[in-house]
Structure formats: C-alpha cells, structure tokens
Homo-oligomer: A and B are copies of this chain.
C-alpha cells in the first residue's frame, strides 16, 4: 500500500513510506525485539542440545553455561584470582589501546599530511595490515616476554593500522571550501591544522577507533592464547584444555561484555565529539 494516512509513528520511517506496515512491533519498547531474539536463540540452542544428542563436552547447554556465568560472576565479585586475571586483560587492552591511539594518530598525521607519507609509507601499512598479524604473536612473546608487555604490545599492533589509516585519511580529507575560507582569512598552517583539519578528521578517526577497539581486545586475547601465562584469555585456554566447555562459553561471554563496553565507550565519545556531524 502506497497511500497511508500519516500517523504520529510515521515520522520515524519517513524515508520508506511504502514499508510502513506498523503493527505490534512498532508499539514495543525498543529493547523488546532484542530480548525476543535472544530468547528465541537460547531456546533453539537448548532444544538442539536436549534432543540433538550432542555431548556437553562438544556443545554445552545454555543452562549449564548460565550456571557457569553465575559462578564466574560470583568469583569476580569476591575479587579473587579470576578478578585479578580479568584486571590483567583489561590493563593489557587499555595500555594497548592508548599506545595504539597515541602512536597511530601521530603516524597517521605525518603520513596523511606529507606527500611522501601518502605515497611512500601508506602502501607499506596496507601491506602490513594485510598480514595475519596473529602470526607475529610468538615473535612478540620472544621479544617482550611473558608479562603484560608482550600482550599489550600485541594488542596495540593488532589495532594500530585502522587508526593510522583512518587518521591519515581524515587529516587529508579537508573540505576544499573550508580550506579556501581559511586561506582567504590568512590562517597559518598551525591554525588550519588545529581549527579545521582536526575537526574534519574526527569522524574518520572514530570509524577507525571502533574497528581498533575490537581488534585490540582480540589482540590481547590472542597473545594470551599463544603466549600463555596470565590473563582472562589464558583462562579460556585453560578451561578449554580441561574440556570445560560450559566454562569456556561463560568466560567468552564476559570477554564479549568487555568488548561491548569498550565499543560503547568509543561510540559514546564519538557522539559527544562529533555531535555536529549530522548527515546533511
């Protein structure tokens, strides 16, 4: 139906008037669909395990995973061993991310603002970014040892390329009209950088940061996986070695929450800092 009487709810979907069959769904609060699909997913999983004759050691049931989630949560709250391991991983991620952002943004600016950087260095980064960086994990361990250093450096290594590339794109992607405006106002290169390029680069940068923050988590976990010794990712590996698959899933669940929290923080910051970037 093309013709629809306009109703209050229609404003939201203004862009697609032909698709405006507004039923139950439209009247649900916004969290309801998420809960519904989670519930359906969990129910299907439980049925598969119950009636599929699959060993718990191969695919644990959601119920036993939930039990482990409860147990892990309790342990985390008590603040014992597991909380310490989580804290180690959090440190690795945060240190790695901060390092990647600081170095990546600086390198990205240099690369993006100089002709040599764009033509001579950028292709190298594309090459490096196309390597499966996880293959470097043993090298990092050998260089930087078994402590936190090799892990956060690996996390930084995994996450720095999207930051460099997006920063370089960002600082190079100034609006010609705005550049002309600044030039006509006799702005210095310094002012053009700080009062124009930086702002225009932010939306690009945040695109890179959102990819990077997830890559950073992956990097820390991968380094622990391969390098062993410490951290929450290592606990996943220990649980896997003990064939405690329900525990594995429960621990992964916490890692996902951590990833989501980091992602959301970056997204929140993006919204605050690039509030002006409304699609025109």
Contact B119 A30 (CB under 8 A): yes
- Determine the interface band of chain A, counting residues with CB < 8 A from chain B: 35 or more
Contact B135 A221 (CB under 8 A): yes
Known contacts A126-B260, A189-B18; is-contact A36 B132 (Cβ 8 Å) = no
A270 at the interface (CB under 8 A from B): no
A17 at the interface (CB under 8 A from B): yes
- A99–B251 Cα distance when bound, in Å, is 28
Which residues of chain B come closer than 8 Å to A116, judged between CB atoms? 25, 33, 37
A150 to chain B, nearest CB (A): 12
Which residues of chain B come closer than 8 Å to A32, judged between CB atoms? 120
Stretch of A76-84, A102-110, A138-146 contacting B (4+ beta carbons < 8 Å): A138-146
A246 to chain B, nearest CB (A): 11
Selected contact of A124 from candidates B19, B34, B237, CB within 8 Å:
B34
Contact B183 A217 (CB under 8 A): no
Which residues of chain B come closer than 8 Å to A57, judged between CB atoms? 142
